[in-house]
Chain A
Amino acid sequence: MTPRKYLVLAGVALLGPIGDSLLSRGMRQSGGISPHQIHSVVLSVLNPWVAAGIFLLLGFFASYVTALSWADLTYVLPATSLGYVVLALIARFLLHEQISLGRWLGILLISLGVGFVASGPELTQHPALESSKEPAADTVASGVER
């Protein structure tokens, strides 16, 4: 694991939840949208909160896909769930929201789970794949059977 990879994982962890909350804030501003006014969904993109949320979620998706290119799905998902914890702590200390005992317990469980995966390897080593991965990476990798 290089510093750059930790940076990508941090991007997945933070951009996703932050983007979601920006979207939710923006959509609440524009009010309830009923199914027969679909066009107002398109217009809601003009709301700066919604636009910023979409921008961050695009960044989230790019880092997510990048992380999946060198780490297992069962590593990336738990590792990046730390973002929920960061958001909760931001809510507690910057926005001064109350955090119930149940939520603290949730934070504890997520942190424990992240600790479990982080202490292990990030990628399952497939002997057959490893040998073909590097040389074939720029030519026929899309045909590699796993």
Chain B
Amino acid sequence: MIVVLSVTGDVLLARAMKQVGDVGALWRRQGLPLVASRVLRNPYFFLGLLAMSLAFFSLLFGLSWGDVSLVAPASASLSFVANAVAAKFFLHERVDRRRWLAALFVGAGVLLLAA
């Protein structure tokens, strides 16, 4: 549940920001207020934010019945792998072997580091 919500949030935010475009370039061309209003007017941005806050609260909930040293690292490391899958199917990113390996290695590494 935590993983699903946080991945949903990440994917929606990523989609929102790809629609907005390169923030640095936009900032130079149009100034900060316009960039900010453009981000804030994007519906995906708010859906992503909502999903991320739900993920945060479900993490708090998970921590209240589970062991901190298990729940937090397990959900963090699963998110890396699940994000790679979701980015491939929903964002159509080209997830090549290099990126699969990266997601798996980082996921395993985070688990080892935090456990």
Contact = CB atoms under 8 A, between A and B. Distances in A.
Given A68-B13, A69-B21, A120 B99 contact: yes
A66 interface: yes
Given A81-B106, A109-B112, A116-B105, A65 B17 contact: yes
Contact of B96 (A5, A120, A144): A120
Size bracket, chain A contacts: 35 or more
Size bracket, chain B contacts: 35 or more
Contacts, number: 142
B99 A68 contact: no
The dominant DSSP class at the B interface is: helix
Interface in A34-56: none
A138 B111 CA distance: 42
Interface of B: 10-11, 13-15, 17-26, 29-30, 38-39, 41-42, 80, 83-84, 87-88, 91-96, 98-99, 101-106, 108-115
Pick the 3 closest A-B CB pairs, nearest first. Answer: A106-B112, A109-B109, A113-B105
